[in-house]
Amino acid sequence: MENHVKRLAKTLAETGALFFDENLVLKDGRPTPYFVNMAMFKTGRLSLLMGSFFAEMMVFRGLEKRVDIILGPSYKGSAIALSTSIALWQEYQEDVTFDYDRKEAKTHGEATGKKDMFVNQSFFDGCRLFVVDDVATSMGTKYDLLEKIEAEAYSKGMTFHVEGIGIGIDREQTTAVYNEEGTVVLGRRGNSTIDDFVSKSGIAVFAVAGIKAVVQYLYEEGVPVLVKGNRVPIDDGTKAEFDLYMETYGIDGAGGKGHYR
């Protein structure tokens, strides 16, 4: 197992960002035995740690030499882009530009008459971009960002290449299935959101860690995790419930390794 996966797993446990509990529900309406709240990385130390996980993953994949700009979709992605850029310089002496998008175009000051959609105005002709964000759910934020990138490049007569999308944690599960009334159908798995994204966009997706590897590592090492409000090692019952959930909704059944380049 890669070092960045182990370090992220331990930090998720330490911060309580990963927790197990009863009656948890995802935004899509499905129940889940666990949740990951990346907003727990909210101090200077933890923010830099998050950046170091992404930086180490990028170096492990050889991405740091193929990227000119690290781009984070607002709002969480902007902090990750900054911390990843800092970590690449601090740990690997790779000085990579970071940038992030605006929710509304800036038209005053240095952007008068330009309608700039990116804060640092760092794009140049032929630039290579790497997008970073905390999770991948519907990939809607990533699609929106790609549209902004294309519009920016078109308005300024530039070409660009998106080298990949980097996410912190991959839940490694399929989308929800709904009936005609719009109610989620429990026990049914839909498509892989990320497979669909890769197929439509042609852009590779890289995860710092998949949830199966994270939970397996914490379980085997006996690392204390928040389970029903108590910080204890993951017990056999909790692990079995997680495995059943992944067997039901996972992208490749229990133990699957996902589908990323």
Alpha-carbon span 250 to 35, nearest angstrom: 15
pLDDT at 244 over 50: yes
Written as six digits, the tokens of 27 are: 């935004």
Q: For 172, phi and psi rounded to 5 degrees?
A: 55, 45
Is residue 164 a contact partner of residue 130, using CB atoms and an 8 Å limit?
A: yes
Q: What structural domains and CATH numbers belong to the chain?
A: 3-234 (3.40.50.2020)
What is the helix (H) or strand (E) element at residue 160, kind and residue range? strand 160-170
Q: Using 50, 70 and 90 to split pLDDT, how confident is the model at 104? A: low
Angle made by CA atoms 170, 126, 140, in degrees to the nearest 5: 30
- 30-62 tens-digit pLDDT: 999 999 999 999 999 999 999 999 999 999 999
Residues 252 and 259: their CA atoms lie apart, in Å, by 9
Q: Are strands 97-106 and 127-135 parallel, antiparallel or unpaired?
A: unpaired
Residue 27's pLDDT is 85
Give the three-state DSSP class for 133.
Answer: strand
Q: What is the C-alpha separation between 46 and 25, in angstroms, rounded? A: 26
Other beta carbons within 10 Å of 177: 16
Exposed, middle or buried by CB within 10 Å (0-12, 13-18, 19+), for 240? exposed
Using one digit for the tens of pLDDT, what is the confidence trace for 184-194? Answer: 999 999 998 89
Would you say residue 126 has pLDDT above 90? yes
Q: Do residues 208 and 57 lie in contact, with contact meaning Cβ atoms separated by under 8 Å?
A: yes
CA distance 123 to 62: 22
The answer to whether residues 88 and 146 touch, using CB atoms and an 8 Å cutoff, is: no
- What's the whole-number average pLDDT of the chain? 90
Asked if 13 and 223 count as a contact pair (C-beta separation under 8 A), the reply is: yes
